[in-house]
Amino acid sequence: MTDGTHRRLLVATAGIVAVLIVGDRSSIAAADGWRALFDGKTTAGWRGFKKTDFPSERWEVRDGALHLRPTGTGDSHGAGDIVTTDTFSDFDLRWEWRISPGGNSGVKYFVTEQREGPIAHEYQVLDDARHPDAKVGPHRQTAAFYDVLPPAADKPLRPVGEWNLSRVVVAGNHVEHWLNGAKVLAYDLGSPETKAAIAKSKFKDVAGFGTKIPGRILLQDHGDEVSYRNIRILARAP
C-alpha cells in the first residue's frame, strides 16, 4: 500500500466513523457533555406545557422523530405544546426538523410557565415558500427571532420535505440562530437594538420579555404537521 493510498484510507475511515457517531444519539449525548433531549424511541423528558402528562393525542414517535399530527384546521392554539422537564440557561441546542407543505411551527426557549401562555423567544419553523415575505414579513420566517428580528436573507433553507438542521446558542446575553451550518442571526439581550425591535413587536407589553430567563425548551403545536429529531443540548454554566 502506498503512502497516498494509506492516507486516503484513513480519511475515508474517519468519515465513516463521523457518520456513525452523528447517527447514534447515545454517542452524541455522551460526547463532550452533549445530552439527548429526545431518545428517538420514547417521549421521556417531555410533557405538555403547564401539564403533568404528555399530549399523546397530538404527538407520536414515528421513524425516530417526534411527529405532530395535523389537526386540519391550521391552528390548535398551542393545545399540544410540549416542554422539556428540565430548564436551561446557557446552552447550545441543536435539532433537525421537517415541515409539511404550508406548515408552521417553532422551537421556543426561555420558556416559563409563570406566564399565562407559552410566550417566549421563538426560533421560527415555517414553510417560507407558502408564507412569503410580502405576507408575513422576514421577522416571521424560518430562523427568525419570531416577530422581533429577521434572519439573513441568504439563509440556506432546504425545500419542504427535506430535513433541516437548526441551532440556538445562548452564551451570557448573546444569542445566535443557525440554519444548516450557517449563522443567520445574532442578537444581544438588553441591547438598544433588541429593545427597539421588541418595542415594535407583539410582545412589547409582555413583562420581562427580552430578559434572559432560565427556562424550558418548547416544541410548538400550531396545528400543522411537523417532525423533530436528533434534539440535543450542551448546557453550560452561566
Task: CATH number of the domain at 226, please.
Answer: 2.60.120.560
Domain extent, residue 17, equals 1-33
Q: Are residues 164 and 115 in the same domain?
A: yes
Nearest to 187 by CA among 237, 150, 214, 159: 150
How confident is the model at residue 229, as a pLDDT? 98
Q: Are residues 93 and 167 in the same domain?
A: yes
Does the predicted TM-score (pTM) go above 0.95? Answer: no
How confident is the model at residue 79, as a pLDDT? 81
Using the structure block, give the residue that is written with the C-alpha cell 419553523.
125
Q: Which burial class, exposed, middle or buried, applies to 35 when counting CB atoms under 10 A from its CB (0-12, 13-18, 19+)?
A: middle
Answer yes or no: are the C-beta atoms of 233 and 91 closer than 8 Å.
Answer: yes
Q: Are residues 114 and 75 in the same domain?
A: yes
Answer yes or no: are the C-beta atoms of 122 and 106 closer than 8 Å.
Answer: yes
How confident is the model at residue 126, as a pLDDT? 97
How confident is the model at residue 71, as a pLDDT? 83
Q: Are residues 105 and 189 in the same domain?
A: yes
How confident is the model at residue 14, as a pLDDT? 41
Q: Are residues 49 and 163 in the same domain?
A: yes
Q: Are residues 28 and 41 in the same domain?
A: no
pLDDT tens digit at each of 238 positions of the chain: 555 544 443 344 344 333 333 444 444 445 689 999 999 999 999 999 999 999 999 999 999 999 999 986 555 556 899 999 999 999 999 999 999 999 999 999 999 999 999 999 999 999 999 998 777 899 999 999 999 999 999 999 999 999 999 999 999 999 999 999 999 999 999 999 999 999 999 999 999 999 999 999 999 999 999 999 999 999 987 6
Q: Are residues 103 and 59 in the same domain?
A: yes
How confident is the model at residue 75, as a pLDDT? 52
Helix (H, G, I), strand (E, B) or coil at 212: coil
Q: Are residues 49 and 92 in the same domain?
A: yes
Query: Residue ranges of the alpha helices (H) in the chain?
Result: 3-23, 25-30, 133-136, 192-199
Q: Are residues 54 and 24 in the same domain?
A: no
Residues in the chain: 238
Q: Are residues 63 and 113 in the same domain?
A: yes
Q: Are residues 163 and 121 in the same domain?
A: yes
Structural domain count, the chain: 2
Q: Are residues 120 and 189 in the same domain?
A: yes
